[in-house]
Amino acid sequence: MNGSVVIAAGGTGGHISPGVALAEVLSEKANAFGFESVYIHSLVRNQNNPDLLQPPCEVLWHNIPQLGGIKTLIYPFLFLIPFLKTIIRFRKLKVNAVIGMGGYSSLPAILYAILFRKSLYLCEQNCVPGKITRVFSRFAKKIAFSFELAEEFHIPGKIIGNPIRKRVIPEHLNIRQNENLHEGKKNTINVLVLGGSQGARQLNQMILKAMENSEIASKYKFRLLTGTNLYDETKNKASNDAEIISYANDMKPNYEWANLVVARSGAGVIAECLVFGLPMILIPYPYAADNHQKANANFIEKEGAAVTIHSTSDDPTPLVKFLLTWKDHSEVLREMGHVSLALSNVNAAYQTVSYFFSESK
């Protein structure tokens, strides 16, 4: 195959991060996989996304409008001009293959592949496939899944794992940070709280309330990544014992510090926790599209790497219950960590690219 390949990775970080991971592999091995060049196709509003500030390949920016709201009726007209620009650019760059990472922002690249009969591949991060995957799966040559799909969906493809960026991958694949919990060599359990790049007020408030319990405060040390917008609010309400951080560009040190993670159940966060062998308390975002975070959390809980809290309030009662149970039974966290690591696939990016494009010999 000659020409170039485009990775359509816009929308949210959950689409961008695995797309960048694929771009890292393809940029290094483009010729081996039969391509001259590799590009990322992403929204203009993502120009400040940390993963796209120093991308592994050139980023082609576009401004396709988001579907929905009062613009629905005039959407085709708003879509047309940016789409025509995409066509002209892709033709000039000899784009012969498109990898769609999901989300509405991948639509122009996917339509280009279909209209001009180019090879189309899809990556689905969640247990509940997004609308893009459901609608365009029949046009795709191959589809790669991060996790097992919810039982009501029957889309042909291969379960590989969520592609992980190189800078997040741990140096050593083990669960060393939890081994000493079981052996009684560590008195404090480090809890990393992740609300996503925009933060999650519910998680922040739940943790702060849980810390009011003296038994929890004496056994657990909390590090809250609040999100930039919620940093001041959380900092002002926190006690001196909580470590409050607005945002971390380099997540590896935080994962290495942690013994336990409390987080939303986006596919990207889950995949990163898995490669570090971390047990999780997952609190799904209840308003996620198609309630896909609930399905993700339920799958990881069923496998034994996490417990879930399905709640829209900041009531700390279920969280406190888990933490008090594990306070004197940290071996449970150790075993959950074993399961977590077993579910991970640190080579998902390379394996996904290899699945899509058989490497030439």
Compute mean pLDDT per 10 residues along the chain, 361 residues long, and list them.
90 89 96 94 92 95 78 80 96 98 94 98 96 96 96 95 93 60 66 76 88 92 85 77 82 93 94 95 89 94 96 92 92 93 95 86 38
Helix (H) or strand (E) segment spanning residue 20: helix 13-29
Please give the CATH topology (third level) of the domain spanning 4-167+346-356.
Answer: Rossmann fold (3.40.50)
Q: Kindly give the pairing relationship between strand 158-159 and strand 142-145.
A: parallel
Nearest CA among 15, 333, 345 for reference residue 147: 345
For the record, the structure tokens of 80 come out as 């047309």
Examine domains 4-167+346-356 and 176-343 and report if their fold is the same: yes
Q: Kindly give the pairing relationship between strand 306-308 and strand 280-282.
A: parallel
Position 280 scores a pLDDT of 97
Burial class (CB in 10 A: 0-12, 13-18, 19+), 211: buried
Domain extents for the chain?
Answer: 4-167+346-356, 176-343
Nearest CA among 175, 167, 166, 107 for reference residue 139: 107
With a CB cutoff of 8 Å and minimum separation 6, the contacts of 138 are: none
Helix (H) or strand (E) segment spanning residue 98: strand 95-100
What letter would DSSP give residue 138?
A: G
Rounded to two decimals, what is the model's pTM?
0.91
Helix (H) or strand (E) segment spanning residue 230: none
Helix (H) or strand (E) segment spanning residue 62: strand 58-62
Class of domain 176-343: alpha beta
Angstrom distances, CA of residue 276 to CA of 130, 267, 336, 337: 27, 15, 12, 8
Position 223 scores a pLDDT of 93
Q: Kindly give the pairing relationship between strand 220-225 and strand 306-308.
A: unpaired
